[in-house]
Amino acid sequence: MSVPVRIIDSKAGSKPGDSHPNPGAGWDSPDGGPVVSPRTRLDHLTTLVAAPEEGGPYVCAGYRSDYDRPHPVFDRRPPPRLGKWVRIRLVVALVTVTGLILGLAACGADEGAPATPDKAATGASFAGTIRIGAALSETGKFAVEGRDSRQGYDTWVRWANEEYGGIEIDGRRYAAEIVYYDDESDADTAANLVQKLIDDDGVEFLLGPYSSGLTTGASAIAEANNVIMVEGNGTSDTMFERGFRNLFLVATIASDYTKSAIEILAAQGARTAVIAYEDTSFPTAVADGARRHLEAAGIEVLSTETYPRDIQDASAIMTKFRDLDPDVFVGGGHYNDAVLFVNAAKELGFAPDGMLITVGPSNPKLIDELGEDVDGVLGPTQWEPVMAYEGPYFGSASDYAAYYESLWGEPPVYQAASATAAALALHLAIETAGTTDTDAVREALYGLEADTFYGPISFDERGVNTSKPMGTVQVQDGQIRVVAPDAAAVAGLVYPLAGASGSGKVSAAERVAQMLINGIALGGMYTLLVLGFSIIWGVMGVINFAHGEFVMIGAYMAWLANDLWGVDPFVTVPLVFLVMMLLGFGMQRLLVNRVIDRPHLVSLLVMFAVAIILQNVMKVVFSADFRRADTVLDGVWRVAGEVTVPVTRFWILVVALAVASGLSLFLSRSRLGKSIRAAAQNREAARIVGIDVAKAYAVTFAICIGITGVAGALVSPVLAVQPFQGPPLTLKAFAITAMAGLGSVRGALGGAMVLGLVEAGLAVYIPQIGTNLAVVASFVLLVVALVVRPQGLFKGLRPVDATAT
């Protein structure tokens, strides 16, 4: 039996109608081309004729419908090997990148960052070692507080082993050792690591993680395994309503965090307040307590808003609160939230008489980061060095602070002191019990009454320390001052704040106008963020899952120039564009170009891996702290009544429109732009007419990464700059691009504006949960757009499904 083949190249002597000698080995091509042999190799636009078998005809291969990408059936070639000079260039590039990273580390690392002390010795004088486990956040949202907590725990280890002489049991001294793991600020990871500490590391006791959200699951694992956990920084009330017998808290419980601050604000005449809090365990408990304390003090709560854990922009919430004109703002959940709220208040001209932020004002790092913008802000504190607490362990509060600073080169924040106090409470209970038996140590904890540098410690039947009141601090002239309670106060409350001014009531028409202005401003920011992603996907068919990380690199470049030399982020735009273009060109030539002919899943996974690498490199270089660049283009313009325009976002919109217009003209009018469009529509045909497709791709990738870097530089005064800001931006860019059309400048602009207006409307008109709904708005719009108009709302360079394999 024979199978006819259609001959493409007849110069070898074969003619149409010749038979294939092996009919079981051939397939029809998907576009109606010839039957081909599996041994036939296909190259770009080259028709190959296989060598004839003995006495047989020539077997011919035709063209490919998928341009020059390897077909999963026809092309069985192994991946090309890197040539000698390519390998040499790759090594040189890697060495250069490594040098740049080390240079950034030298410039970007915090001056005076504390060195990690050596592991505490467990010398021959000790009878043994008591192993204690702790899962703490070294990365993720809680990295700042996790670092402070670990230093607090390690301070106790150093003091216990080197100053105190170890933990005494029955006349013998035992060294203390803490086994740590990074819980990555994730509750499930924390719980799994606690189980690992118990099962694999054989720890006898546990010290709690930072945050109630992580402690909730971790403490459940400890309870199930009958292992005692003493906590210093997980204070949610709900954790102590479960009847656990192995969880103890040395700090004041969350619902009382704001009590003393609200009492002194009420005494100064505050009558209205608004509340914003993260929708997780600890901030919710604090907000519930704040609401009760405000009502008890006769202060009316005008509005309550929740926001998601990974929020990067608080402007929608602060705009809504500004229009309500409250006397007091109460908000926050963790340190990074304080940065967002202070930034947003400054940007939008929101100046209440008092600002009370849950976590941050007691931390000197917030003053270093925000400067005079944080002046006057109030915050709860578990402990401060100036408080009049003392005991036989560590001495007074100021003695503890001096010892801590001698180890770490910086003064302790209350999270560190709470961690040390938790470890000290466990230490004292073990000595009281005279054994490491769980039941005996538990009973000793319930009976503990100790005066310490942290304050009095004694536990009720829930395991909560009820003997220590919560304090309140206020940033005054760049210094952290204790203003409540009276017994610990070293300064009086400043109220109302300097510059505070009422805005008056906002009419319905003004609210609509403000929503439209905010939506357009937000759309302008999204336009700049999505342009590069859309063009790369539309032209090259590559879904750049490292897009958000390139935004992050541009933001860090602007912040670094601002922090070191005081250069405004808007001034850094030309330099950021040039540097990011070079980075994009190099990455395209060395990496992207080598996977562009592979199945699309390969390029997607490669870019995803690049994103992970960049996140962790920047985390090592700059830490996980939130940063913000200062700009002279801040504040608001009041245009009519109570309607305002945020100055920074207005100029971001102007730049976005200029970039979009310039890019559109480049693609439609220039020779190179037309070449890029041709390559996007049909790269095979583009090559036939002599277009250098590889060059078009390299230029496209370089320009788009340059634009992406500019976007990062311009949003650095608006969004939080931190190593893990990229993924949410990438997902938003993906949704806008797929919704609007691939490679379309007009589509990127239109889709960004639609999303900006929808998010602004949700934040203004949906009470309490509008900000949370705004997070998913882009994906709801994506689903609707793909169902109603699968090709995208605007015509792109290729349809949405054109890159599917």
- CATH number of the domain to which 264 belongs: 3.40.50.2300
Q: What's the confidence (pLDDT) of residue 96?
A: 56
pLDDT band at 712 (very low <50, low <70, confident <90, very high): very high
3-state secondary structure of 104: helix
Q: What's the confidence (pLDDT) of residue 67?
A: 33
Q: Say yes or no to pLDDT of 623 above 90.
A: no
Residues 622, 732: one domain?
Answer: yes
Q: What's the confidence (pLDDT) of residue 71?
A: 37
Q: Say yes or no to pLDDT of 188 above 80.
A: yes
Say which range, 15-24, 440-449, 532-541, 591-600, has the weakest mean pLDDT: 15-24
- Look up residue 637 and give its DSSP letter: E
Place of tokens 């140590």: 441
Residues 582, 701: one domain?
Answer: yes
Helices within 352-413 (DSSP H only):
364-370, 397-408
Q: Say yes or no to pLDDT of 446 above 90.
A: yes
Q: Which amino acid is at 697?
A: Y
Place of tokens 């949700």: 762
Tokens of 362: 């007691």
Q: What's the confidence (pLDDT) of residue 618?
A: 94
Average pLDDT value for residue range 739-745: 83
- In this structure, the dihedral spanned by the alpha carbons of residues 60, 66, 67 and 70, taken in order and rounded to 10 degrees, is -70
In this predicted model, what pLDDT tens digit does every residue of 390-406 receive, in sequence order?
Answer: 999 999 999 999 999 99
Q: How far apart are CA 536 and CA 29, in angstroms?
A: 29
CB within 8 Å of 83: residues ≥ 6 apart: none
Average pLDDT value for residue range 697-726: 94
For the chain, the maximum distance between any two Cα atoms, rounded to a whole number of angstroms, is 106
Residue predicted with more confidence, 11 or 622: 622
- Look up residue 465 and give its DSSP letter: B
Tokens of 656: 């976005």
Q: Is residue 90 one of the residues assigned to a domain? A: no
Say which range, 219-233, 289-303, 747-761, has the weakest mean pLDDT: 747-761
Q: Which amino acid is at 324?
A: L
Question: Is 753 exposed, middle or buried (CB count within 10 Å of its CB: 0-12, 13-18, 19+)?
Answer: buried
Total number of domains constituting the chain: 4
Average pLDDT value for residue range 60-72: 37
Q: What's the confidence (pLDDT) of residue 28?
A: 41
Residues 226, 265: one domain?
Answer: no
* Residue after which a domain boundary falls, among 62, 77, 92: 77
Q: Which CATH number characterizes residue 780's domain?
A: 1.10.3470
Residues 712, 793: one domain?
Answer: yes
Residues 247, 264: one domain?
Answer: no
Q: Is residue 91 one of the residues assigned to a domain? A: no
Q: What is the mean pLDDT of the chain?
A: 84
Q: Is residue 374 one of the residues assigned to a domain? A: yes
Question: Is 103 exposed, middle or buried (CB count within 10 Å of its CB: 0-12, 13-18, 19+)?
Answer: exposed
Q: How far apart are CA 533 and CA 741, in angstroms?
A: 11
Q: Are 399 and 417 in contact (CB under 8 A)?
A: no
pLDDT band at 315 (very low <50, low <70, confident <90, very high): confident
Average pLDDT value for residue range 611-626: 90
Measured CA to CA in angstroms, residue 573 lies from 435, 625, 714, 745, 789 at distances of 64, 23, 8, 20, 36
Q: Say yes or no to pLDDT of 79 above 50.
A: no
Other residues' Cβ atoms within 10 Å of the Cβ of residue 492 = 12
3-state secondary structure of 571: coil
Tokens of 617: 């490199």
Residues 239, 344: one domain?
Answer: no
Residue predicted with more confidence, 440 or 788: 440
Q: Is residue 549 one of the residues assigned to a domain? A: yes
CB within 8 Å of 102: residues ≥ 6 apart: none
In this predicted model, what pLDDT tens digit does every residue of 475-490 receive, in sequence order?
Answer: 999 999 999 988 788 8
Average pLDDT value for residue range 508-526: 92
Q: In the chain, pLDDT over 70 holds for what percent of residues?
A: 82
Helices within 123-186 (DSSP H only):
143-158
Residues 366, 396: one domain?
Answer: no
Q: What's the confidence (pLDDT) of residue 6?
A: 38
Q: Is residue 693 one of the residues assigned to a domain? A: yes
Adjacent-strand bridge partners of 207: 134, 230
Measured CA to CA in angstroms, residue 641 lies from 344, 516, 517, 645, 775 at distances of 21, 15, 14, 12, 30
Tokens of 571: 């001034």
3-state secondary structure of 191: helix
Residues 294, 371: one domain?
Answer: yes
In this predicted model, what pLDDT tens digit does every residue of 192-232 receive, in sequence order?
Answer: 999 999 999 999 999 999 999 999 999 999 999 999 999 99
Question: Is 675 exposed, middle or buried (CB count within 10 Å of its CB: 0-12, 13-18, 19+)?
Answer: buried
Residues 218, 242: one domain?
Answer: yes
Structural domain of 44:
1-77
Residues 563, 693: one domain?
Answer: yes
Measured CA to CA in angstroms, residue 65 lies from 69, 685, 796 at distances of 9, 11, 21
Q: What's the confidence (pLDDT) of residue 120?
A: 39
The closest alpha carbon to 722, from 617, 624, 585, belongs to 624
Q: What's the confidence (pLDDT) of residue 14?
A: 39
Residues 547, 658: one domain?
Answer: yes
- H/E element, 538: helix 508-540
What are phi and psi for residue 207, nearest 5 degrees? -110, 140
- H/E element, 474: strand 471-476
Q: How far apart are CA 496 and CA 407, in angstroms?
A: 39
Measured CA to CA in angstroms, residue 81 lies from 468, 510, 727, 748 at distances of 68, 64, 33, 38
Angle formed at CA 637 by CA 633 and CA 641, multiple of 5 degrees: 165
Q: What's the confidence (pLDDT) of residue 122?
A: 42
Q: Is residue 499 one of the residues assigned to a domain? A: no
Residues 550, 403: one domain?
Answer: no
In this predicted model, what pLDDT tens digit does every residue of 85-135 receive, in sequence order?
Answer: 555 554 455 445 445 544 544 444 444 333 333 333 344 489 999 999 999
pTM (predicted TM-score) = 0.71
Adjacent-strand bridge partners of 305: 276
In this predicted model, what pLDDT tens digit does every residue of 234-256 receive, in sequence order?
Answer: 999 999 999 999 999 999 999 99
Tokens of 705: 């990464």
Q: Are 108 and 622 in contact (CB under 8 A)?
A: yes
Other residues' Cβ atoms within 10 Å of the Cβ of residue 38 = 11
Q: Are 110 and 623 in contact (CB under 8 A)?
A: yes
Q: What's the confidence (pLDDT) of residue 505?
A: 67
Q: How far apart are CA 345 and CA 349, in angstroms?
A: 6
3-state secondary structure of 645: strand
Q: How far apart are CA 280 and CA 307, in angstroms?
A: 9
Q: Is residue 631 one of the residues assigned to a domain? A: yes
Place of tokens 């757009």: 785
Q: How far apart are CA 1 and CA 474, in angstroms?
A: 92
Other residues' Cβ atoms within 10 Å of the Cβ of residue 737 = 30
Q: Which amino acid is at 309?
A: R
Q: Is residue 122 one of the residues assigned to a domain? A: no
Adjacent-strand bridge partners of 381: 471
What are phi and psi for residue 87, nearest 5 degrees? -65, -40
